[in-house]
Structure 1
Amino acid sequence: MKVPTRSWTLMRDIYQKVLPRTHYYLENWRKYAEKIPNSELRKQALMSIEEKTFHCEGGSIYGLLAPHNIDSVIEFIVAYQTISDYLDNLCDRSTSLDPTDFQALHESMLHALSPYQKPVNYYRYREEQEDAGYLEALVSSCQKVLRTLPHYEKVAPHLIELARYYVDLQVHKHVKEEERVPRLVHWYEQYKEKMPKMSWYEFSACAGSTLGIFCLVSYASRDQWSDKLSQMVKESYFPWVQGLHILLDYFIDQEEDLKGGDLNFCFYYESNDKLAERFAHFVQEADKSVANLPDKNFHHYINHGLLAIYLADKKVKKQKHIQQTAKHIIQFGGKSTFFFYLNGWVYRKMKKR
């Protein structure tokens, strides 16, 4: 097995090697979630799997960077992304607006990246408690894989750094509506001088992705290693690749978030033209930032595949006011984006059948 370096070999490997493994591990977690005693926790666990399967499908593509350890890497990615999606549901759609509760829940994401960390009661600040060990089992699954990585110690500081950005974002953006923006702006001010020129909502988007973590874990599973690699990966994925990822996620969720009263970073652009301009900038910077990585073609295709996967989503067709902007984004993504766009559209048609 080799890391795919062309668009068609990448798509072939996604269909043949990534999706079957992803669905196998995800189905196991779905069966576990069905047995959760507490009805609210069970509901949110199942919804997070049913509605966000494509998060695991997309993340698991990074398993292709670990051709000799693809099974264990995808096992990690599915478990870690499932934690992320489950907690997002618990914070976004459930019964609490307490930042202390959100912080405690998200300790699980930090513990999942620390192979010998003992579990705690992550639900200790909320009424719902009984999950039959579901969240703890997800954490344990991640830890088990990390204990086998030849170069875990080299990537560990960067994994924790990226996870802390993610956890802080989740806490700040899920509190009472009137507190969200002030908290996020204050948080951004702490990092502003270290970041390229961007707004507070773009920084927040950069913090909200798990792709850098998946990339680091995949490389850490390889036998060969460069001491500069973990720093290179972290700086390549944060901020630009991760920011592109999450801005796309918010772009297609605008109507849904407007109805639900949820925070959406795309709402803060002064116009759709400005939004499209910044998307173009994020694509350009993301491509530049991965150009010096090993397997640079793979990473380039990931950037353009992100554009395609999100813009082929059925949500775009339901929102006429964003369709023209979506077309512009596809156009500046180039031929590779259009290729992945067609594949994404066909794949969704096949899934319906």
Structure 2
Amino acid sequence: MAAVYRKIFPAVNAELKFWETRAREIPDEELRRQALASIDSKRFHCLGGAVYALLAGYRWHEAIRFIVAYQTISDYLDNLCDRSTSMDPDDFRLLHEAMADALTEKNPIKHYYALRAEQRDGEYLADLVRTCQKTMRHLDSYHVIHCHLLELEQLYSDLQVHKHVRLEERVPRLVNWYHDHTVDSPLYWYEFSAAAGSTLGIFCLVSYGLGRKMTVGFAETITESYFPFMQGLHILLDYYIDQDEDRREGDLNFCHYYDNQNRMKKRLIYFIRQADSHVQHLPDHTFHEMVHHGLVGLYLGDPKVKSLENGLDITSDLLRVSGYKARFFHWNTKLYHRMTKARA
């Protein structure tokens, strides 16, 4: 944690400052507004994801540059789809080709905005993609991990397309997609969808790829350790605290599909335990434990939890199951929010 506060967070903030300056130069007003909003409201995604840079050893700064650029693409495109002037799945698919191209060494830049009204971003998205590609070219183990990177990215992009189409089409598309990808799955369709919506596995693979020699077996172990349970826990917690906001905005929230509060709590506990079990197969397993316990403490420390039905009781049960590390992060998160509120 000392390294995170001393090295990682300042470097993340410097990278975000660079991309914020670039976003302010976007010619199209709507694209500029969404790019700036994504950085302003989702900064914590980059800060959280950047802890994986610790796995990159002395190349930690390269990992941060990739993580911030890739997460910024993700958050920007999510804004363009979520608060979109378009409801066209082909438009969403073309936009998200930027995320696949970013995970290649030299795929040519496409006209990602070709199917929407807004066109001119001053090369903002293209430069984010090029920044990620530079990291890919510097990965000695790129040939080992690239198929796993693209597998996780494809799941992410599929989710973004299906969940942003017209309201009446979303659930049927997601259910069909779930059945196309699973056989005898222990997950419900909405849990599978949640697991697809995280970028943590990609950050883990790239950071390890920068920091050590990768093997085919190791890359497979990372992917299986993170998908579905680690990534699913991440996104389910994110949806859990956003329930009231999403209900007001009419946005899709996977936690709304549980039969009742008790069922949701039991499934969250299941994900916590499964995530804990699966990361034991990884080297540095205490680091990965810290991440998933940190997710529990971080999200449940958000002030929005107080307004949720049975929010405090569910928080207490989840923290008890997750253990003292989660309680540590929970206490720190609540303290941070109090200090931020006091300064405001």
Query: Which residue of 234, 239, 256 maps to 2:228?
Result: 239
Would you say the 8 A contact 1:105–1:122 is kept in 2?
Answer: yes
Q: Distance in 2 between matches of 1:134 and 1:142?
A: 13
Gaps of 5+ in 1: 1-10
Shift of the 121–47 alpha-carbon distance from structure 1 to 2, 3 Å rule, reads same
Would you say the 8 A contact 1:150–1:222 is kept in 2?
Answer: no
Query: Which residue of 227, 252, 259 maps to 1:263?
Result: 252
Shift of the 115–347 alpha-carbon distance from structure 1 to 2, 3 Å rule, reads farther
Gaps of 5+ in 2: none
Amino acid at match of 1:304: H
Amino acid at match of 1:113: L
Would you say the 8 A contact 1:150–1:223 is kept in 2?
Answer: no
Q: What is the deviation of 1:348?
A: 3.5
Asked if 1:137 is matched to 2:139, the reply is no
* Aligned residue in 2 for 1:203: 192
Q: What is the deviation of 1:320?
A: 4.9
Q: Distance in 2 between matches of 1:47 and 1:236?
A: 32
Asked if 1:85 is matched to 2:75, the reply is yes
Offset from partner CA, 1:21-55 (integer Å, 9 cap, x none): 11110111011111111111011000100000110
Asked if 1:38 is matched to 2:28, the reply is yes
Query: Which residue of 297, 320, 330 maps to 1:341?
Result: 330
Q: Distance in 2 between matches of 1:322 and 1:124?
A: 44
Offset from partner CA, 1:77-131 (integer Å, 9 cap, x none): 0000000000000000121111000000000000000111010100000000111
* Aligned residue in 2 for 1:154: 144
Amino acid at match of 1:302: V
Q: Distance in 2 between matches of 1:107 and 1:349?
A: 40
Q: What is the deviation of 1:313?
A: 1.4
Q: What is the deviation of 1:292?
A: 1.3
How high is the sequence identity, in percent, across the aligned residues?
Answer: 50
Q: Distance in 2 between matches of 1:349 and 1:13?
A: 23
Query: TM-score, normalised on structure 2?
Result: 0.97
Offset from partner CA, 1:120-177 (integer Å, 9 cap, x none): 1000000001111100010011011111112111100000000000000000000000
Q: Distance in 2 between matches of 1:26 and 1:52?
A: 11
Paired residues, number? 342
Q: Distance in 1 between matches of 2:137 and 2:334?
A: 38
Asked if 1:119 is matched to 2:109, the reply is yes
Q: Distance in 1 between matches of 2:333 and 2:206?
A: 26
Q: Distance in 1 between matches of 2:212 and 2:236?
A: 34
Matches within 5 A, 1:209-220: 209-220=198-209
Q: Which moved more, 1:166-175 or 1:62-71?
A: 62-71
* Aligned residue in 2 for 1:275: 264
Q: Distance in 1 between matches of 2:309 and 2:264?
A: 16
Asked if 1:316 is matched to 2:272, the reply is no
Q: Distance in 2 between matches of 1:320 and 1:135?
A: 40
Q: Which moved more, 1:337-346 or 1:297-306?
A: 337-346
Would you say the 8 A contact 2:81–2:164 is kept in 1?
Answer: yes
Q: What is the deviation of 1:326?
A: 2.2
Q: Which moved more, 1:314-323 or 1:19-28?
A: 314-323
Q: Distance in 1 between matches of 2:190 and 2:122?
A: 37
* Aligned residue in 2 for 1:329: 318
Larger RCO: Structure 1 or Structure 2 (Cα < 8 Å, ≥ 6 residues apart)?
A: 1
Would you say the 8 A contact 2:30–2:118 is kept in 1?
Answer: yes
Query: Which residue of 143, 147, 162 maps to 1:172?
Result: 162
Amino acid at match of 1:308: G
SS at match of 2:36: helix
